[in-house]
């Protein structure tokens, strides 16, 4: 039997970097499998891009009001995933919060928190309850004229799940794939190890001295980590992050990190966003595919587990 070899591949998609580390006996076939999966990630990135006016998602946002708009089967599946996550998080994960995101305009300077009037107006345009899916016809319909869907909180995980399926169909049995380091899938295990060990960095420590405040061990499992660092807006002394509580339209502030492990990356992505949005997953929430759902809060003495589902 030939010795295991490792190859690395990367692409830029969804405004971030996706990387693969793949192990196997034949580097030529591994690369071919990896390239197919990367092409698929790029394709998904283009099709589901909220900011590209000509994307499939933008077409849905323009045309789904008042009509049953047929969409491709995989996009419909992704919408169904959104609906599932919206329900189990009691609305904490909501891909229709685009108007609120643009109101807060994260990453750009703002001198004050948006007015309550503007928040109320934006809130009126949000809510997955305005989205109707028909599984028989694979159609989507918006019940509100200015409703729109932004898949930013879930598309990376979806793309990684699709990539994993393609890699496995091509015979890849061991690999670590991630998108922007916040969404990760461990396929099989590394050679001679029991699981892929992923260190979770403290986002409030200097980049020059990275430290792991938690670890995750993945074997055919996905990890999603959310924090408000990175895309945030500081108003006064308060840092507001790019995660919004859909119930009141307020951006999340404070040093929180959510960590979710699940069979599928799309599930982990949705739930980690929901945890950070300040809502507990409903107390009776159980799902055999979710193995960990933690919310950490940083206090003076260090990171404290605030909530565990």
Contacts to another protein by CB under 8 A: 28-29, 31-33, 35-36, 39, 51-55, 58, 62, 70, 72-74, 76-77, 137-138, 169-171
Measure the CA–CA gap between 28 and 44, rounded to whole angstroms.
25
CB of 31 or CB of 110, closer to another protein: 31
CB of 70 or CB of 210, closer to another protein: 70
Are the C-beta atoms of residues 258 and 294 closer than 8 Å to each other? yes
3-state SS assignment for residue 289: coil
Query: Closest separation between CB of residue 70 and another protein, Å?
Result: 8
CB of 35 or CB of 193, closer to another protein: 35
> Can you read off the two tokens belonging to residue 241?
């992050």
Query: Closest separation between CB of residue 55 and another protein, Å?
Result: 8
Query: Closest separation between CB of residue 244 and another protein, Å?
Result: 25
Please, what's the b/e burial string for 135-169 (b: 16 or more CB within 10 A of its CB; e: otherwise)? eeebbbbbebeebbbbbbbbbbbbbbbbbbebbbe
CB of 137 or CB of 304, closer to another protein: 137
Query: Closest separation between CB of residue 7 and another protein, Å?
Result: 11
CB of 70 or CB of 191, closer to another protein: 70
Measure the CA–CA gap between 213 and 198, rounded to whole angstroms.
11
Are the C-beta atoms of residues 275 and 281 closer than 8 Å to each other? yes
CB of 162 or CB of 269, closer to another protein: 162
Query: Closest separation between CB of residue 60 and another protein, Å?
Result: 12
Beta strand spans in 188-263 (E): 196-201, 212-218, 221-227, 232-235, 238-244, 251-253, 256-262
Contacts of 123 (CB under 8 A, 6+ apart): 100, 248, 249
Query: Closest separation between CB of residue 192 and another protein, Å?
Result: 23
The residue count for the chain: 309
CB of 73 or CB of 236, closer to another protein: 73
Are the C-beta atoms of residues 178 and 184 closer than 8 Å to each other? yes
CB of 33 or CB of 103, closer to another protein: 33
Query: Closest separation between CB of residue 272 and another protein, Å?
Result: 26
Query: Closest separation between CB of residue 29 and another protein, Å?
Result: 5
Measure the CA–CA gap between 305 and 309, rounded to whole angstroms.
11
Burial of 62 per CB tally in 10 Å (0-12, 13-18, 19+): exposed
């Amino acid at each position: 039997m030939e010795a295991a070899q490792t190859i690395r591949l990367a692409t830029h998609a969804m405004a971030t970097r996706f990387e693969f580390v793949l192990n196997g006996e034949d580097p030529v076939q591994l690369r071919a499998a990896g390239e197919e999966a990367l092409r698929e990630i790029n394709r998904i990135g283009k099709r589901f891009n909220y900011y590209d006016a000509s994307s499939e998602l933008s077409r849905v946002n323009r045309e789904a009001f008042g009509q049953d708009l047929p969409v491709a089967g995989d996009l419909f599946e992704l919408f169904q995933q959104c609906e599932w996550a919206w329900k189990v998080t009691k609305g904490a994960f909501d891909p229709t919060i685009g108007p609120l995101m643009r109101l807060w305009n994260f990453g750009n300077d703002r001198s004050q928190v948006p007015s309550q009037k503007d928040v109320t107006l934006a809130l009126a345009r949000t809510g997955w309850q305005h989205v109707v899916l028909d599984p028989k016809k694979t159609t989507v319909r918006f019940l509100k004229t200015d409703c729109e869907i932004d898949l930013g909180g879930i598309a990376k995980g979806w793309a990684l799940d699709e990539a994993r399926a393609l890699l496995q169909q091509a015979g890849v049995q061991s690999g670590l794939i991630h998108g922007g380091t916040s969404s990760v899938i461990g396929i099989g295990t590394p050679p001679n190890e029991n699981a892929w060990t992923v260190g979770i960095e403290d986002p409030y420590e200097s980049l020059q001295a990275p430290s792991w405040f938690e670890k995750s061990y993945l074997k055919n499992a996905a990890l999603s980590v959310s924090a408000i660092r990175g895309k945030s807006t500081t108003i006064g002394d308060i840092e507001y992050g790019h995660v919004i509580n859909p119930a009141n339209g307020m951006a999340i502030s404070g040093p929180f990190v959510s960590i979710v492990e699940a069979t599928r990356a799309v599930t982990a992505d949705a739930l980690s966003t929901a945890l950070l949005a300040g809502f507990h997953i409903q107390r009776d929430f159980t799902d055999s595919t979710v193995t960990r759902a933690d919310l950490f809060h940083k206090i003076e003495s260090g990171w404290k587990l605030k909530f565990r589902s």
